[in-house]
């Protein structure tokens, strides 16, 4: 019998129309909001105007910080924190994808602690956020990073070319809003890359030494939904049913991620997008997926056989080992259906950088590697990167 603990304090508000409640939830935690978002997609879709209107209707003063960038940096976080302090903000509201939500979480720390945010992102001797951290409300526009449900914020430290995560119960959002309608305008490429991230969250936690029966259930449901609905959301993104089920997948993966964290693929991808910030997180993960399944399925054939089954492989009558070997081609078929069946070379990663990427993973992403249920060496990391190239 397995003993385990599970914790997730986020109030989830899920479903079409949930975004309209953002003002009601935000005013429960403050009266002066820093609204954190990107400069393009949320504005052009009309979601920014809706957010401003809902917060105004709730009687809140709002300072807008719309300088979020993909793979957000400590410099962006510092600028946001300075605005929050200047405007005396007492709650941070994020509207956008993972970059906006991670930036908002980091701002909530930086605005309330007398240390640069880079101190919370160090490889060793990290500073720890305290209860002084501002309350955070997140509304996601992608399916997605699940940051609206997790205690993690990923930020790149520009001076070190290091992309690391802050993990703290103090940055669990007070409220996570997951409204599938907000994802209807998500472009196909973003739909694909964020969907790949959902799948990686699910399979990495599933195949880890911190998995539990509860998180396994979340992971299986997330992978099943991604397999069935991501190709449809990619091809027909304007259909709410497709978006609804991908939003559900994002939630299931988020509940798993919040307790298991990620493992080896994220440990390698963070250095990739730290050195190549133009590479979207999910795009950097996608080339690793098939080699990951090919390499590690033998260590837990039962679970990888289940992955193959969840993705629609014909496993009936096959041995567990043979079924496990079907996981990699099933994953490849999923990636092909969303045009992410690519290698690291196609993302602009130079082959001579692969050892350095492995070294970076060992330098500041060891917490993810340590969750693998088998020993992983530097040579193993380089071999995985080579196979992904």
Q: Span 72-89, mean pLDDT? A: 98
According to the model, what pLDDT value does residue 378 have?
98
According to the model, what pLDDT value does residue 39 have?
84
Model confidence at 305, pLDDT cuts 50, 70, 90, reads very high
Model confidence at 53, pLDDT cuts 50, 70, 90, reads very high
Residues 86, 150 within the same domain: yes
Select from 183, 204, 233 the last residue of a domain: 183
Closest CA to 253 of 147, 136, 341: 147
According to the model, what pLDDT value does residue 159 have?
85
According to the model, what pLDDT value does residue 10 have?
98
Residue 273 has pLDDT above 90, yes or no: yes
Residues 85, 172 within the same domain: yes
Locate 137 and state its tokens.
Answer: 């409300």
pLDDT single digits (tens) 141-178? 999 899 999 999 999 999 888 999 999 999 999 999 99
Q: Span 21-40, mean pLDDT? A: 96
4 belongs to a structural domain: no
Residues 194, 175 within the same domain: no
Q: Span 311-339, mean pLDDT? A: 97
pLDDT single digits (tens) 14-26? 999 999 999 999 9
| Cα separation, 111 vs 138, whole angstroms | 17
According to the model, what pLDDT value does residue 83 have?
98
**Average predicted confidence (pLDDT) for the chain:** 97
124 belongs to a structural domain: yes
Model confidence at 348, pLDDT cuts 50, 70, 90, reads very high
Residues 293, 349 within the same domain: yes
According to the model, what pLDDT value does residue 164 have?
95
> Helix, strand, or coil here: 288?
helix
According to the model, what pLDDT value does residue 2 have?
83
Select from 123, 152, 183 the last residue of a domain: 183
| Residue with tokens 């979340």, as numbered in its chain | 218
Residues 227, 159 within the same domain: no
Tally of domains in the chain: 2
Is residue 24 classed exposed, middle or buried when 0-12, 13-18 and 19+ CB atoms within 10 A define those classes?
middle
Domain of 378, in residue numbers: 188-387
| Cα separation, 158 vs 73, whole angstroms | 6
What number of helices (H) and strands (E) belong to the chain? 16, 8
Residue 102 has pLDDT above 90, yes or no: yes
Is residue 194 classed exposed, middle or buried when 0-12, 13-18 and 19+ CB atoms within 10 A define those classes?
buried
Select from 127, 148, 183 the last residue of a domain: 183
According to the model, what pLDDT value does residue 61 have?
98
Residues 351, 239 within the same domain: yes
According to the model, what pLDDT value does residue 185 have?
94
Q: Span 39-49, mean pLDDT? A: 93
5 belongs to a structural domain: no
pLDDT single digits (tens) 199-228? 999 999 999 999 999 999 999 999 999 999
Model confidence at 368, pLDDT cuts 50, 70, 90, reads very high
Which domain CATH number covers 29? 3.40.50.1970
249 belongs to a structural domain: yes
Residue 196 has pLDDT above 90, yes or no: yes
pLDDT single digits (tens) 240-261? 999 999 999 999 999 999 999 9
Which domain CATH number covers 270? 1.20.1090.10
């Amino acid at each position: 019998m397995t003993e385990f603990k599970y914790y997730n304090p986020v109030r989830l508000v899920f479903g079409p129309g949930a975004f309209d409640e953002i003002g009601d939830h935000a005013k429960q935690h403050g009266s002066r909001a820093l609204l954190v978002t990107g400069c393009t997609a949320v504005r052009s879709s009309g979601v920014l105007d809706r957010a401003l209107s809902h917060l105004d209707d709730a009687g809140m003063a709002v300072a807008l910080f719309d300088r979020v960038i993909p793979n957000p940096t400590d410099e962006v976080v510092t600028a946001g924190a300075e605005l929050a302090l200047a405007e005396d903000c007492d709650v941070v509201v994020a509207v956008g994808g993972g970059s906006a939500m991670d930036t908002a979480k980091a701002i909530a720390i930086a605005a309330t602690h007398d240390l640069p945010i880079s101190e919370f992102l160090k490889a060793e001797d990290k500073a720890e956020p305290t209860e002084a951290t501002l309350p955070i409300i997140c509304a996601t526009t992608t399916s997605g990073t699940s940051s609206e449900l997790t205690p993690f914020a990923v930020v790149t430290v520009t001076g070190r070319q290091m992309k690391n995560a802050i993990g703290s119960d103090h940055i669990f959002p007070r409220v996570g809003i997951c409204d599938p309608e907000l994802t209807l305008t998500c472009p196909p490429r973003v739909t694909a890359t964020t969907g790949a991230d959902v799948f990686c969250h699910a399979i990495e936690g599933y195949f880890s030494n911190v998995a539990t029966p509860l998180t396994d259930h979340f992971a299986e449901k997330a992978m099943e939904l991604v397999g069935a609905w991501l190709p449809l959301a990619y091809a027909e993104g304007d259909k709410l049913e497709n978006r609804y089920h991908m939003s559900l997948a994002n939630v299931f993966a988020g509940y798993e991620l919040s307790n298991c964290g990620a493992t080896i693929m994220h440990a390698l991808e963070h250095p990739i997008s730290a050195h190549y910030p133009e590479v979207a997180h999910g795009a950097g993960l996608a080339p690793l997926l098939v080699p990951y399944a090919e390499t590690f399925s033998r260590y837990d054939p039962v679970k990888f056989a289940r992955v193959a089954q969840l993705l629609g492989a014909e496993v009936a009558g096959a041995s567990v080992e043979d079924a496990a070997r079907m996981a990699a081609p099933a994953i490849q078929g999923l990636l092909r259906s969303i045009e992410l069946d690519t290698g690291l070379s196609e993302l602009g990663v130079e082959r001579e950088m692969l050892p350095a990427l492995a070294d970076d993973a060992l330098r500041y992403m060891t917490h993810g590697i340590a969750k693998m249920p088998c020993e992983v060496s530097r040579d193993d990391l380089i071999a995985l990167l080579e196979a992904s190239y």
